[in-house]
Amino acid sequence: MRIVLHIWRQPNAGEKGRMVRYEAPNVNAHMSFLEMLDVLNEDLVAKGEEPIAFDHDCREGICGSCGSMVNGVAHGPAAGTTLCQLHMRKFHDGDEIYLEPWRARAFPVVKDLVVDRSALDRLIAAGGFISVATGSAPDGNAILVSKEAADRSMDAAACIGCGACVAMCPNASASLFLGAKIAHLGILPQGQPERDSRVVAMVAQAAAEGFGACSNVGECEAVCPKEIKLDVIARMNRDFLHAKWVARD
């Protein structure tokens, strides 16, 4: 099938970008979206043109490296799907597709569709860990964890840090990412000693990075490829208020 692509091209963060029109005349419906971009890049290189820069790694929906706005939707039209898992059978012959990078102050454009998401790494460094001296690997049953707590923690830990929630949020909030990282540690007994300091430090770092505040629009949940629920944001807010209240005593 024939697809028309309008792709954001920007040489670097210091220069202005623009949409450039490309035609992909021989797209196979069984191609993944990134495979289609690979073929387009091969054609561009053969013509002596600069290939389109885009992020990717595992191409299995695990690493969170890929991600672009496809017709205004983070990761494209398929629910619970990363860009690398999106297939061209979701589109039709003659479709026009607009492809843009994540749009957020905290995600500056590096080149074309590539953005710098290291702000998410700094959020993790601010408190997304437990600092417990464990010595050698402890026995798996040394600390009892209920199945309910384990399930809820693992659901939150499914977050791959792709940044789709930030890109889709009208406030460029990282609250779904933050909530997931705070919840998956805070639900478990191992994460209790630093539960208060963790949420305060990570929320403060998010503000310092330029992420916006959550206003419960819900677009983050709608585009999350791992279908993280808004519950984690409610839990984060509750933990934050508790931590601030306790600190007053």
Q: What is the pLDDT of residue 147?
A: 93
In this prediction, residues 169-186 reach a mean pLDDT of 96
- Do strands 3-9 and 18-24 pair parallel, antiparallel, or not at all (unpaired)? antiparallel
pLDDT confidence band for 215 (50 / 70 / 90): very high
Chain mean pLDDT for the chain: 94
CB 86 within 8 A of CB 29: no
At residue 205, the 3 state secondary structure works out as helix
User: How many percent of the chain have pLDDT more than 70?
Assistant: 98
Structure tokens at 149: 């707590």
Q: Among residues 151, 156, 67, which one has the least CA distance to residue 113?
A: 67
Q: What is the pLDDT of residue 143?
A: 81
pLDDT confidence band for 139 (50 / 70 / 90): confident
CATH of domain 3-110: 3.10.20.30
> Burial of 131 by CB count in 10 Å (0-12 exposed, 13-18 middle, 19+ buried)?
exposed
CB 238 within 8 A of CB 196: no
Q: What single string gives the DSSP state of each residue in 174-201?
A: -HHHHHHHHHHHHTSGGGSTTHHHHHHH
Q: Which CATH architecture has domain 118-248?
A: Orthogonal Bundle (1.10)
CB 225 within 8 A of CB 164: yes
Lowest mean pLDDT among 82-96, 131-145, 180-194, 227-241: 131-145
User: Distance between CA atoms of 46 and 66, rounded to whole angstroms?
Assistant: 24
* Chain segment 189-199, per-residue pLDDT in tens: 989 999 999 99
- pTM tops 0.75: yes
Q: Please, where in the chain does CATH 3.10.20.30 lie?
A: 3-110
Q: What is the pLDDT of residue 72?
A: 97
Q: What is the pLDDT of residue 125?
A: 95
Q: How many CB atoms lie within 10 A of CB 22?
A: 18
Q: Please, where in the chain does CATH 1.10.1060.10 lie?
A: 118-248
Q: Per-residue pLDDT for 127 more than 80?
A: yes
